[in-house]
Chains A and B, each alone.
Chain A
């Protein structure tokens, strides 16, 4: 008797060791190859792609496992980002003499403190949002989470008076880059005689966190809690009858998903060294959801694929729109930005029409779909 879906980690361990080494080497040299072949702008895209992998893996816990439609996920990203921003920029010092007196050397929160704190705070926000709303049915929950996301954004936009906490729409600037010990990631470092640019350093940090979050996701999926999430997704009444306290278990999904978002937010703030409400709009929540659904809800490899595609494709369209038009028509007929968005919208529609369960769905989900098709025919 085989064990499909059980112990993915063990399956990975069973793979030949050289396969693992090969993948590791490929991931390690990827930014150098990308930088050399396409320029630093694409290494930056790579960095953002990894951030989006973090975000979509977090949302996947809420939407993919527990089946709760969350349209305000970006709020948790914002919470993590603003926490990092406030704790490692001169903003609070300039506005609050008391804080300036407390930290004469300025606020420079260390990363090992700020990321867990961001995860925790975002998790608390997740519980705050979830506690009163989780008994709502699917689409009602969606609109409430959407409202919550908007509320958080509006507060970021307006909490600059009477006391200036967020600096409003201008956002917070002069945020410290991420330092790991004495290694500053915001400038080129000489490592073993090799000049490693800042974008590459961030790549490795983000990659490490992505790997960590993948392990956490896999382990959660294959646990008592993970099974309870899926049971709730499948049939909430039956889950209750099995003794699952659905309210608490859903809250846990919200908190876990939110905490991933909080970590990603902290990384984002340190990477950009600038945050503003602009980065945390409804469309960003929708994009992350699209990554999860387009890739394959509840299926970690699918979700990763979805985030990489939806971060990479628009950039690809952006860079190719002008030259391709030049080549085809001899001039630029359509504004590249417009063309890029048109193609992007088209991608969403076409992929969903041809792969309704996502590009790389969980096996059981694709089976379910085939069956439904069979019944419908």
Chain B
């Protein structure tokens, strides 16, 4: 198993609350990795540290063997980690196509001078950006919404658009923060198909989910967080039977 991402002893506190304590985990190349835990277990905090949004207090993350610049989200994205947000964050007043085109920013070069002079290189790059964005909209299944404002898309389509935008940054690791939240059964099934497709196309996926059934059915390996600490990290069959996990979900501790 070759490790794509290795988080070592991540620690994070907010004021007096230790949100993450000594969390270490390893995500292998080409797998779907699930991160679950009860409400407030620290999943999203971990996610935000990993993607550079929150500065961490301790630990480091190795990505393809080199440390990620934690605390700097754009550098993390440039290194090849893309993410979506739990409560969808699209550029609401840009079209779906433009949203995805913004995702290409980090892999393109043109600057002000190229834009003002409309150099051939810039025009070619612009065409390539647009073509790639259209392909990605097609890939996630919403090519017909290309020219609609993001805010006018349905909830399910907004989730898809966010994934397309993340894919536009050419990530090696795609991190999805509760992508099934608020979806109905049909939408969840479609999402599941999409995620499996991503993995089959060679992408590594990190999935935070509330929906334990979805995670257990979908993920190659799963880690469980509780009170900011990792309880277990293993294949779903083992994790499901782990006594601490059962207690975390059913036990008295969380009412």
Is there a direct interface between A and B, measured as CB atoms under 8 Å apart in the complex? yes
Instruction: Report which of B51, B95, B149 forms a contact with A241, defined as CB distance below 8 A.
Output: B51
Q: A223-B110, A224-B126 are in contact. Are A231 and B151 (CB under 8 A)?
A: no
B55-63, B114-122, B190-198, B220-228: which one contacts chain A? B114-122
Q: A234-B91, A243-B78, A368-B151 are in contact. Are A226 and B102 (CB under 8 A)?
A: no
Which residues A196-252 have CB closer than 8 A to chain B?
216, 219-220, 223-228, 230-231, 234-235, 237-246, 252
Instruction: Report which of B73, B108, B116 forms a contact with A216, defined as CB distance below 8 A.
Output: B116
Is residue B77 contacting chain A, with contact meaning CB distance below 8 A?
Answer: yes
Instruction: Give B101's nearest chain A residue, CB to CB.
Output: A227
Which residues B70-107 have CB closer than 8 A to chain A?
73-74, 77-78, 82-83, 85, 89-95, 98, 101-107
**B126 and A223 form a contact (CB under 8 A):** yes
Instruction: Give A231's nearest chain B residue, CB to CB.
Output: B102
Is residue B231 contacting chain A, with contact meaning CB distance below 8 A?
Answer: no
Chain A nearest CB from B129 CB (Å) reads 7
Is residue A364 contacting chain B, with contact meaning CB distance below 8 A?
Answer: yes
Docked Cα-Cα span, A245 to B83, in Å, equals 16
**B106 and A243 form a contact (CB under 8 A):** yes
**B74 and A368 form a contact (CB under 8 A):** no
Docked Cα-Cα span, A5 to B147, in Å, equals 10
Is residue A1 contacting chain B, with contact meaning CB distance below 8 A?
Answer: yes
Q: A227-B98, A235-B91 are in contact. Are A243 and B85 (CB under 8 A)?
A: no
Q: A1-B147, A238-B85, A242-B165 are in contact. Are A225 and B74 (CB under 8 A)?
A: no
Instruction: Give A256's nearest chain B residue, CB to CB.
Output: B112
**B74 and A240 form a contact (CB under 8 A):** yes
**B102 and A239 form a contact (CB under 8 A):** yes
**A371 and B85 form a contact (CB under 8 A):** no
Is residue A19 contacting chain B, with contact meaning CB distance below 8 A?
Answer: no
Chain A nearest CB from B115 CB (Å) reads 4
Instruction: Give A9's nearest chain B residue, CB to CB.
Output: B118
Chain A nearest CB from B152 CB (Å) reads 8
**A230 and B94 form a contact (CB under 8 A):** yes
**B112 and A252 form a contact (CB under 8 A):** yes
Docked Cα-Cα span, A326 to B250, in Å, equals 86
Docked Cα-Cα span, A241 to B163, in Å, equals 12
Q: A224-B115, A224-B125, A368-B93 are in contact. Are A242 and B105 (CB under 8 A)?
A: yes
Interface centre among A237, A244, A371 (most CB of B within 10 A): A244
B residues within 8 A CB of A1?
Answer: 146-147
**A364 and B149 form a contact (CB under 8 A):** yes
Chain B nearest CB from A233 CB (Å) reads 8
B residues within 8 A CB of A245?
Answer: 74
Is residue B111 contacting chain A, with contact meaning CB distance below 8 A?
Answer: yes
**B116 and A219 form a contact (CB under 8 A):** yes
A residues within 8 A CB of B102?
Answer: 227-228, 231, 239, 242, 244
B residues contacting the other copy or chain, number (CB 8 A): 45
Docked Cα-Cα span, A252 to B168, in Å, equals 23
A residues contacting the other copy or chain, number (CB 8 A): 35
A residues within 8 A CB of B151?
Answer: 368, 371
Chain B nearest CB from A261 CB (Å) reads 16
B residues within 8 A CB of A238?
Answer: 85, 89-91
* B-contact 0/1 string along A270-287, CB 8 Å cutoff: 000000000000000000
**B105 and A224 form a contact (CB under 8 A):** yes
Instruction: Give B77's nearest chain A residue, CB to CB.
Output: A243
Chain A nearest CB from B57 CB (Å) reads 20
* A-contact 0/1 string along B205-222, CB 8 Å cutoff: 000000000000000000
Chain A nearest CB from B143 CB (Å) reads 9
Q: A216-B116, A256-B112, A368-B93 are in contact. Are A243 and B53 (CB under 8 A)?
A: no
**A231 and B94 form a contact (CB under 8 A):** yes
**A241 and B73 form a contact (CB under 8 A):** yes
A residues within 8 A CB of B74?
Answer: 240, 242-246
**B91 and A231 form a contact (CB under 8 A):** yes
Instruction: Give B162's nearest chain A residue, CB to CB.
Output: A238
B residues within 8 A CB of A243?
Answer: 74, 77-78, 103, 105-107, 169
Which residues B141-173 have CB closer than 8 A to chain A?
146-147, 149, 151, 165-166, 168-169
Which residues A259-276 have CB closer than 8 A to chain B?
none
B residues within 8 A CB of A5?
Answer: 95, 98
Instruction: Report which of B73, B93, B103, B110 forms a contact with A234, defined as CB distance below 8 A.
Output: B93
A residues within 8 A CB of B165?
Answer: 242
Instruction: Report which of B89, B103, B108, B114 forms a contact with A237, defined as CB distance below 8 A.
Output: B89
Instruction: Give B146's nearest chain A residue, CB to CB.
Output: A1
**B147 and A241 form a contact (CB under 8 A):** no
Chain B nearest CB from A159 CB (Å) reads 32
Which B residues contact A (CB, under 8 angstroms)?
51-53, 73-74, 77-78, 82-83, 85, 89-95, 98, 101-108, 110-112, 114-116, 118, 122, 125-126, 129, 146-147, 149, 151, 165-166, 168-169
Which A residues contact B (CB, under 8 angstroms)?
1-5, 216, 219-220, 223-228, 230-231, 234-235, 237-246, 252, 256, 364-365, 367-368, 371
Instruction: Give me the 6 closest cross-chain CB pairs, A-B, nearest first.
Output: A243-B106, A243-B77, A223-B115, A234-B91, A240-B73, A238-B89
22 contacts between A and B (CB under 8 A): A4-B147, A5-B98, A219-B118, A220-B116, A223-B122, A224-B115, A228-B105, A231-B94, A234-B90, A240-B73, A241-B51, A241-B53, A241-B89, A242-B166, A243-B74, A243-B105, A243-B107, A243-B169, A246-B74, A364-B94, A365-B93, A368-B92
For the complex with contacts A220-B112, A224-B104, A241-B51, 13 further pairs of A-B residues with Cβ separation under 8 Å are: A2-B147, A3-B147, A226-B115, A227-B105, A231-B102, A238-B91, A240-B73, A242-B165, A243-B74, A243-B103, A244-B105, A245-B74, A368-B92
